[in-house]
Amino acid sequence: MPESIQEDKVRLSGRVRFRDVAGQGVLVHLEEGRVLVVNDVGLYIIQTLGRQAMTVSELAEAVAQAFCVNAARAKSDVALFLEQLRGEKALQTVGRPGGGPAGG
Amino acid sequence: MYRDAVMKAVLANSLLLDVTLELTYRCNLNCFFCYNDRERPGTPLSPAQYRVLLEDLARMQTLFLMLTGGEPMVHPHFFDIGNMTRELGFVVRIRTNGHLLDPRNVERLLREVEPYTVEVTLHGATAEVHDRQTRVPGSFDRLMGNLRQARAAGLRCATVATPTAWNEHQIETMIALGDELGAPLRFQGPVGPRSNGDTAPLSIQPSRATWDRIETLMAERKESIAVGPECPASEAAPDADAEEMASCRVGLAGVDIDPFGNVKPCMHIREVAGNLHQQSIAEIWNRSPLFAQVRQRAIAAASRWNGERPRQFGAPIFCLAIDEMCGEVDGRRVGP
């Protein structure tokens, strides 16, 4: 997984809208015009990143606790999911925990 | 994926996925075939009531909103309401005649509302035809100027046309114009009676051959032909396909809310499920029997077609409201 995704704090792009539709997350990207459907774990991540910026590690810890899963597995899955979201232009980088430069 | 996974869940859980807000019946144009009865009386919803409504809808996980009218941008609190929709995370479409899309309003739309798209009504490919339908001289030239600068400013725009006897000779040039403007054209229809029962607009229905030509042209473009008189449940989902759009989906997962707070299964159905001056949207959606009743009427009416594709006034659709108001399908009077 790319190092930048691990270190950066990311949050949901302001150009993304989403709702909890019976436990599934439905996302619409206002510029891309695409609809994404994610499961309950994906929805939890999206809801979390809609409220606050987090690193992969922070997010993975939250997911591991919320869904009672192995921390290492959670980190791997979260990193993969964030890569997918980034590919959909659904994330924005807001800065690094140590105060490093923010990127797009 | 969307239809399979999400729509099943929406229907199984009776979720209210999309809502049309008719903000006002006022308009700055005077279109000959407009279905709105501008004289309809009522107490408009206040900005505070819109706030309560939108917060309720966000809690109910409603995703899609359409702001329409009349002309929604003449509503005195249009931007206040639009700002609320952005804050509360809706996917918003705005249906406008484009007359007020000047640079300042475009900038405000982009900053304060962030709509998914702005759908602008196109009545013809020339000023002569467009202005004949709007009955406002200069409306075509103004629209062209507004659309060009709106696109240049980065506003996602589309154009929507209702085929009529006055513009049917310009179907191809209207499509080309939409492309040139960067605002792809889709068609809706057929022309329906006014909500007060006035059937004068029906006098400018286009020919059935025009609808056939439109279908062919849109199929060639591999784009959906969004016919039907503004059925929000079918239109709002960005990946809904043409076949779904050709079906009346009234009563399933969408409602229309008029300027006076009346909640209806669709904007063309006259019966009211409840009023927001007296009840919350959740109470109305969850308790009114009207939505299921209207759905059953639509299913019963559609069963008359024995699986064949219905047409109303030549258009390849089945709209329950038009069926019940006119009793006309496929050139035959079949209703009341």
Secondary structure of A14-45 as H, E, C letters: CCEEEEEECCEEEEEECCCCCEEEECHHHHHH
- Strand-pairing partners, residue A11, are A92
Output the CA torsion sign for B296, B239, B71, B137: negative
Q: Tens of pLDDT along B123-147?
A: 999 999 999 999 999 999 999 999 9
Structure tokens at B267: 């904007």
User: Would you call B116 and A33 a contact, using CB atoms and an 8 Å cutoff?
Assistant: yes
The number of C-alpha atoms within 13 Å of B138 and in the hemisphere containing its C-beta is 2
- Residue, of B5 and B84, whose pLDDT is higher: B84
A96: confidence class by pLDDT, cuts 50, 70, 90: low
Closest chain A CA to residue B2: A37
Quick check: B91 contacting A, CB < 8 Å? yes
Residues of A in contact with B9 (CB under 8 A): 21-24
d(CA B22, CA B27): 12
- How many whole angstroms separate alpha carbon B266 and alpha carbon B290? 11
Cα separation, B71 vs B65, whole angstroms:
16
Position B333 pLDDT exceeds 60 = no
Tell me, yes or no, if B116 comes closer than 8 A to chain A by beta carbon.
yes
Of the candidates B9, B15, B238, the beta carbon closest to that of A35 is on B238
- Interchain contact, A21 vs B9, CB within 8 Å: yes
Give the distance from residue A14's alpha carbon to the nearest chain B alpha carbon, in angstroms.
Answer: 9
Instruction: Judge residue A78's burial from the number of C-beta atoms within 10 Å of its C-beta, 0-12 exposed, 13-18 middle, 19 or more buried.
Output: buried
Question: How many residue contacts between A and B have a Cβ separation below 8 Å?
Answer: 56
Q: Are B23 and B235 in contact (CB under 8 A)?
A: no
- Type and span of the H or E element at A75: helix A71-87
Q: Say yes or no: B156 contacts chain A, CB-CB below 8 A.
A: yes
Would an 8 Å CB–CB cutoff place A26 in contact with chain B? yes
Q: Which residues of B touch A17 (CB under 8 A)?
A: 63, 89-91, 116
Q: Quick check: B276 and B53 in contact, CB under 8 A?
A: yes
- Sequence-distant (6+) residues with CB within 8 A of A3 are none
Cβ contact, residue pair A19, B62, below 8 Å: yes
- Taking 60 as the threshold, does the pLDDT of residue A40 lie above it? yes
What letters, b where the CB count within 10 A reaches 16 and e where it falls short, cover B89-113? bbbbbbbbbbbbbeeebbeebeebb
B2:A35 CB<8 A: yes
Residue linked to tokens 């007020």: B100
- In chain B, which residue ranges form alpha helices assigned H by DSSP? 8-12, 47-59, 78-87, 103-108, 127-134, 139-152, 171-181, 208-220, 232-235, 242-245, 281-287, 290-302, 320-326
Place of tokens 């941008």: B73
- Spatial separation of the C-alpha atoms in residues B181 and B207, rounded to whole Å: 27
- Those of residues 35-94 in A touching chain B at CB distance below 8 A are 35, 37
For residue B43, give every residue at least 6 positions away whose Cβ sits within 8 Å of its Cβ, in sequence order, or none: B260, B261, B277
Q: Which of A30, A33, A37 sits opposite B2 (nearest CB)?
A: A37
- How high is the ipTM of this complex? 0.83
Pairing of strands B157-161, B91-96: unpaired
Nearest CA-CA partner of B80 in B46, B104, B106, B57 = B46
Check if the beta carbon of residue A6 is closer than 8 Å to that of residue A96.
no
d(CA B77, CA B26) in angstroms, rounded, equals 13
- The region, left, alpha or beta by phi > 0 then psi within -120 to 50, assigned to residue B254 is beta
Euclidean distance between CA atoms B326 and B331, whole angstroms: 11
Q: Does B111 touch chain A (CB under 8 A)?
A: no
Residue A37 has its nearest CB partner, among B6, B89, B90, at B6
Q: pLDDT for B61-104, tens place per residue?
A: 999 999 999 999 999 999 999 999 999 999 999 999 999 999 99
Average pLDDT over residues B1-19: 83
The reported pTM is 0.88
pLDDT band of B241, cuts 50, 70, 90? very low
- For residues B25 and B69, the answer to whether their CB atoms sit within 8 Å is yes
Which of A38-47, B16-25, B34-43, B107-116 has the least mean pLDDT?
B34-43
Dist CA B295 CA B99 (whole Å): 36
- Looking at every residue in chain B, the average pLDDT score rounds to 87
Contacts of B16 in chain A (CB under 8 A): none
- Confidence band (pLDDT; 50, 70, 90) for B247? low
The average confidence (pLDDT) of chain A is: 86
Distance CA B329, CA B334 (A): 7
Averaged over B321-335, what is the pLDDT? 61
B63 touches chain A (CB under 8 A): yes
